[in-house]
Amino acid sequence: MSTYKSLLPVDEEGYYGRFGGAYVPEILHSNVENLRKAFYRYVDDDDFKQEFDTLMRDYVGRPSPLYRAGRLSEHYGTNIYLKREDLNHTGAHKINNAIGSALLARRMGKHRIIAETGAGQHGVATATVCALMGLECVVYMGATDVARQQPNVERMKMLGAKVVPVMSGNRTLKDATNEAIRDWCCNPDSFYIIGSTVGPHPYPEMVAHFQSVISSEIRSQLKSQAGCETPDYVVACVGGGSNAAGAFYHFINEPSVRLIAAEAAGLGVDSGQTAATIQAGSEGIIHGARTLVMQTPDGQIEEPYSISAGLDYPGIGPLHAFLARSGRADVLAVTDREALDAAMTLTRLEGIIPALESAHALAVLDRLKFGHDEIVVINVSGRGDKDMNTYMRELKIED
Ligand SMILES: *Cc1c(COP(=O)(O)O)cnc(C)c1O
């Protein structure tokens, strides 16, 4: 008998309030159903859990530190703790899900992995895990992204993945996802690893589960470092929502913990150049789930924009649509400029160069006033190496 019970506000059909579900074409029904069964079968299996935990520790390098940022805390007059997902192998949180999903693929007897990627971060994490486990790896990537994310394309190729440039639509993440789904339709023997808490049920629940290691560690680390398991605030950026889901997971049912999601405003929520899906989007269906979507009044998906490639998605995971609409989470839309400034502040005060995505979460410090005695945990989802070109172009650094 399984003792697994999700701590998420999700029902058996994968609905978070009115969001979620599994809106897939007939041809995908059995793929999704087999995945759902396998996930519930192995999620609580002792061997599975042990293999996952061992790889998290010895391969990814977990637990990632929870670091009390002294100079940053002094600067903002509060207590700031940084959850250092940037120190994971491959430099971000995405490896947590890639490992959990690939272990599940192996249990299901699948040897070919499909993935989509935008900036290339999920593609690199997936290609890494496929090399580790000896699995074939095919990564769909919009041709526009292939051209602008060369270092990650090269990493994937060196790791042995086949990178397929997608020529349809705007040739970015949405188009790559469509192509990955199409591949899965034709190749039901393959396993599709989605890079965020998006897609049809059980993906959002499954990805959040694999990422929940983040908040599980935060609780025990806070207990030993600050004497209490729950902070006053947990802050994370949201693209599709997986690092935020992981950071929020073990606090969702603790009403004293305020959850703050930072979405990418781009040039401004009303500028037409934005990825602030929660504020600028409306209800619709994208990639198999009912959620908030950036769309025209007649339902055409609108191309999102953010300086940060990892936040540049026209949808949002159904969990976050629900947390936002129900008032459980507060959502702030952070502009490119605010994120760049926050990245500079962290770099100069703490010697940590964050990913541009994570910089959106850090920018919340300039928008909200936190009390002297309050504890604020910020999830640093990734490191900034991949963003150095953008930082050099956008920041006026004097020598
Ligand atoms: C991909 C990515 C994100 C956005 O994805 P989520 O699923 O919303 O977490 C955020 N930060 C980094 C470093 C990423 O690579």
* pLDDT tens digits, 121-152: 999 999 999 999 999 999 999 999 999 889 99
Residues 177 and 272 in one domain: no
The pLDDT of residue 163 = 98
Tell me the average pLDDT across 169-193.
95
- Is residue 2 in a domain? no
Residues 78 and 106 in one domain: no
Residues 100 and 85 in one domain: no
Ligand 1 atom closest to Cα of residue 242 = 7
Residues 272 and 185 in one domain: no
Dihedral angle over CA of 304, 336, 96, 224, nearest 10: -140
The pLDDT of residue 24 = 96
Q: Which of 147, 182, 207 is the last residue of a domain?
A: 207
- Is residue 373 in a domain? yes
Residue 28 phi, psi (nearest 5): -95, -10
Residues 184 and 198 in one domain: yes
Residues 112 and 254 in one domain: no
> Is residue 241 lining ligand 1, measured as CB closer than 6 Å?
yes
Q: Tell me how far apart the terminal alpha carbons of the chain are, to the nearest angstrom.
A: 63
How far lies 399's CA from each of 82, 143, 396, in Å? Answer: 28, 37, 10
The gap from C-alpha 372 to its chain's centroid, in whole angstroms, comes to: 30
The gap from C-alpha 373 to its chain's centroid, in whole angstroms, comes to: 30
Tell me the pLDDT tens digit for each residue of 290-309.
999 999 999 999 999 999 98
The pLDDT of residue 396 = 84
> Is residue 382 lining ligand 1, measured as CB closer than 6 Å?
yes
- Is residue 1 in a domain? no
Q: Of 239, 162, 234, give the one whose Cα is nearest residue 207.
A: 239
| 356 CA from centroid of ligand 1 (Å) | 10
Ligand 1 atom 2 nearest Cα: 310
Residues 197 and 75 in one domain: no
8 A C-beta contact, residue 375 and residue 81: yes
8 A C-beta contact, residue 326 and residue 292: no
- Give the mean pLDDT of the chain: 96
> Is residue 94 lining ligand 1, measured as CB closer than 6 Å?
yes
Residues 244 and 183 in one domain: no
Ligand 1 atom closest to Cα of residue 355 = 13
- Is residue 110 in a domain? yes
- Which amino acid belongs to residue 375? I
Ligand 1 atom 13 nearest Cα: 382
* Dihedral angle sign, alpha carbons of residues 127, 131, 133, 137: positive
* Dihedral angle sign, alpha carbons of residues 391, 72, 60, 135: negative
- Is residue 7 in a domain? no
Q: Which of 207, 235, 263 is the last residue of a domain?
A: 207
The pLDDT of residue 1 = 56
Q: Which of 94, 260, 386 to mutate to test the pocket of ligand 1 (most atoms within 8 A of CB)?
A: 94
- Is residue 126 in a domain? yes
| 197 CA from centroid of ligand 1 (Å) | 10
- Is residue 10 in a domain? no
Q: How many Å apart are CA 222 and CA 244, to the nearest integer?
A: 18
The pLDDT of residue 380 = 98
Q: Which of 237, 238, 292 to mutate to test the pocket of ligand 1 (most atoms within 8 A of CB)?
A: 237
Count Cβ neighbours within 10 Å for each residue of 310-337 and write b for 16 or more, e otherwise: bbbbbbbbbbbbbbbbeebbbbbbbbbe
| 1 CA from centroid of ligand 1 (Å) | 34
Tell me the average pLDDT across 96-110.
98
Tell me the average pLDDT across 275-302.
96
Ligand 1 atom 5 nearest Cα: 239
Structurally, the chain folds into a number of domains equal to 2
Q: How many Å apart are CA 105 and CA 130, to the nearest integer?
A: 10
Q: How many Å apart are CA 251 and CA 249, to the nearest integer?
A: 5
Residues 267 and 233 in one domain: yes
Query: Does residue 106 have a pLDDT over 80?
Result: yes
> Is residue 357 lining ligand 1, measured as CB closer than 6 Å?
yes
- Is residue 3 in a domain? no
> Is residue 288 lining ligand 1, measured as CB closer than 6 Å?
no
Identify the band that residue 387 occupies on the pLDDT scale cut at 50, 70 and 90. Answer: very high
Q: Find the CATH number of the domain harbouring 42.
A: 3.40.50.1100
Query: Does residue 355 have a pLDDT over 70?
Result: yes
Residues 203 and 248 in one domain: no
Tell me the pLDDT tens digit for each residue of 51-101.
999 999 999 999 999 999 999 999 999 999 999 999 999 999 999 999 999
Q: Which of 169, 189, 207 is the last residue of a domain?
A: 207
Residues 31 and 170 in one domain: yes
How far lies 50's CA from each of 45, 47, 185, in Å? Answer: 9, 5, 32
Q: Domain range holding 317? A: 63-91+212-395
Tell me the pLDDT tens digit for each residue of 195-252.
999 999 999 999 999 999 999 999 999 999 999 999 999 999 999 999 999 999 999 9
Residues 240 and 183 in one domain: no
